[in-house]
């Protein structure tokens, strides 16, 4: 992309509120109409409320619309929410679901471009661009982290090293050998990289690494301070979720007073999670996002389960797009382990695949060094264990494999008494 085009893209974060709101209204009308015409679930929920696709007259009319939840994605798995013919879909991504079946998100060519625009704008806020080398250590594949950052960086003319996650020693060697200037991964994985690098005798001060784009799991300001102190890089918080598109829904800025949401693309609301009532800016509640410019599988008033606040007032960085407070907790039982979403119900589903195993379990999350680990304590029964150590180890292995195949993470399985 031309330099001037990139500048124009970055300027979108600074447009006047009037201009922004008129774009939002136009896009909201359009997406509501599109979903109403093409998606049975949305249409029937609208009709239940006595609404049709002409109900949006002003932005706050969004508050009349029904919510979408993760369960809707699961219930309509895989393509029930599709609003365009399958031949118009050029990409499928998936994230772990609540009962073992994944959540699938379908993107049209325009949707991929919209997502790319968001990640480009996010990286530009961090000052990353042509001349930088980005080591993208998010997982590539169905998880949106890898592909999301990849497209964003490539769009900016950044040199991308698509290393994906894992193999920490190689990560450090290439970071050093290639003169990598920016890395993207989960913050806990980067802490692990720091530890490993120390052990191997690398000195971050001698490396060219300057920026870390960290997300895909909640993390605290204390963790940010530690990363910055120990590695000397700047740690940026990026927010996103598969259902909305992937990383790049909102991004830190130098003022560090919240994450700017690219609200011409993703419209934020905060609601009372109990009543569903929309709350004014400055009040804590559940973050709800509407995709204003995504057509394959638009999400209208999607309840993220993330607890946040829309920050009042303008940011000292001058951006007019609103900020959300950094996410540090959620209002469901989802765990985020090394960037992977884990629901206890998935553990249960895995246990139920093994004959004789009861779905009675404890999940214990521990931090070993800087990596979260999962231990699953499972009730053993007399039929399962026989009389040898080996018979129990076989069951442990079976359970471990079943869980790994569903959540994608290795866990420690400990047999316990009922």
| Interacting residue ranges for other proteins, rule: CB under 8 A | 380-382, 385-390, 392-393, 396, 414-418
Q: How far is the CB of 380 from other proteins (least distance, A)?
A: 6
Q: Quote the CA–CA distance of 261 and 13 in Å, as a whole number.
A: 9
CB of 220 to other proteins, least distance (A): 32
Least distance in angstroms from the C-beta of 394 to other proteins:
13
- Min dist. Cβ of residue 360 to other proteins (A): 13
> Please, which residue, 99 or 396, has the CB nearer to other proteins?
396
- Sign of the Cα pseudo-torsion (129, 135, 136, 140, in order): positive
Q: How many residues belong to the chain?
A: 418
Rounded to a whole number of angstroms, the minimum distance from the CB of residue 387 to other proteins is 3
Q: How far is the CB of 390 from other proteins (least distance, A)?
A: 8
Q: Toward other proteins, which CB reaches closer, 77 or 385?
A: 385
Give the shortest CB-371-to-other proteins separation in angstroms: 20
C-alpha angle 107/110/111, rounded to 5°?
35
DSSP string for 6-72: HHHHHHGGG--HHHHHHHHHHHHHHHHHHHHHH-HHHHHHHHHTT--TT--SSGGGGGGSPPB-HHH
Closest CA to 115 of 78, 70, 145, 160: 145
Nearer to other proteins, 167 or 412 (CB): 412
44/412 with CB nearer other proteins: 412
Q: Are 292 and 265 in contact (CB under 8 A)?
A: yes
Rg (C-alpha) for the chain, rounded Å, is 22
| 8-state DSSP, 102 | P
Cβ–Cβ under 8 Å, residues 257 and 315? yes
* Closest to 106 (Cα-Cα) out of 120, 117, 95, 96: 95
* Nearest residue (CB) to other proteins, 170 versus 397: 397
Taking the complex as a whole, how short is the minimal distance between the CB of residue 366 and other proteins, in angstroms?
15
Nearer to other proteins, 88 or 414 (CB): 414
Q: Can you list the positions of beta strands (E) in 119-278?
A: 133-136, 159-161, 182-185, 211-215, 234-241, 246-251, 259-261, 266-271
Burial, 359: exposed, middle or buried (Cβ in 10 Å; 0-12, 13-18, 19+)? middle
Nearer to other proteins, 156 or 380 (CB): 380
Dig out the tokens for 72 from the structure: 């809707």
C-beta closer to other proteins: residue 275 or 388:
388
Looking at the Cβ atoms of 168 and 396, the one nearer to other proteins is 396
Q: Closest approach of Cβ 417 to other proteins, in Å?
A: 5
Is 278 or 363 the residue whose CB approaches other proteins more closely? 363
Give 228's Cβ-side CA count (13 Å radius).
11
Cα gap 183→79, rounded to integer Å: 34
- C-beta of 386: minimal distance to other proteins in Å? 6
């Amino acid at each position: 992309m031309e330099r001037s085009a990139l500048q124009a893209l970055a300027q979108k974060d600074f447009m006047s509120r009037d201009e922004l709101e008129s774009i939002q209204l136009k896009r909201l009308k359009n997406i509501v109409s599109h979903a109403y015409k093409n998606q049975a679930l949305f249409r029937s929920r609208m009709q239940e409320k006595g609404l049709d696709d002409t109900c949006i007259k002003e932005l706050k009319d969004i508050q009349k619309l029904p919510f979408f939840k993760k369960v809707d994605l699961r219930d309509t798995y895989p393509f029930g929410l599709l609003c365009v013919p399958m031949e118009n879909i050029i990409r499928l991504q998936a994230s772990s679901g609540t009962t073992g079946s994944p959540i699938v998100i379908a993107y049209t060519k325009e949707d991929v471009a919209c997502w790319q625009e968001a990640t480009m704008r996010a990286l530009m806020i961090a000052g990353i661009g042509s001349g930088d080398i980005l080591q993208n250590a998010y997982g590539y594949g169905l998880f949106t982290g890898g592909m999301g950052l990849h497209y964003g960086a490539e769009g900016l003319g950044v040199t991308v090293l698509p290393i994906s996650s894992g193999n920490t020693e190689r990560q450090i060697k290439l970071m050093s050998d290639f003169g990598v200037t920016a890395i993207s991964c989960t913050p806990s994985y980067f802490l692990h990289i720091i530890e490993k690098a120390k052990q191997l005798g690398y000195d971050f001060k001698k490396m060219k690494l300057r920026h870390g784009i960290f997300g895909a799991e909640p993390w605290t300001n204390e963790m940010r301070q530690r990363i910055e102190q120990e590695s000397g890089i700047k740690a940026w918080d990026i927010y996103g979720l598969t259902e909305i598109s992937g990383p790049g829904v909102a991004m830190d800025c130098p003022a560090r007073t919240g994450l700017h949401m690219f609200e011409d693309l993703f419209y934020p609301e905060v609601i009372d999670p109990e009543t569903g009532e929309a709350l004014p800016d400055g009040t804590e509640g559940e973050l709800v996002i509407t995709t204003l410019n995504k057509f394959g599988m638009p999400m209208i008033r999607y309840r993220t389960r993330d607890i946040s606040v829309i920050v009042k007032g303008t940011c000292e960085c001058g951006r007019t797009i609103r900020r959300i407070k950094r996410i540090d907790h959620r209002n469901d039982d989802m765990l985020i382990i090394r960037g992977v979403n884990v629901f206890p119900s998935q553990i249960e589903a895995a246990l139920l695949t093994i004959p004789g195993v009861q779905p009675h379990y404890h999940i214990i999350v521990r931090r070993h060094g800087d990596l979260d680990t999962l231990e699953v304590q499972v009730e053993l029964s007399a039929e399962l264990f026989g009389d040898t150590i080996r018979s129990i180890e076989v069951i442990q292995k079976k359970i471990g494999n079943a869980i790994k195949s569903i959540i994608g993470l290795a866990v420690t399985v400990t047999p316990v008494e009922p």
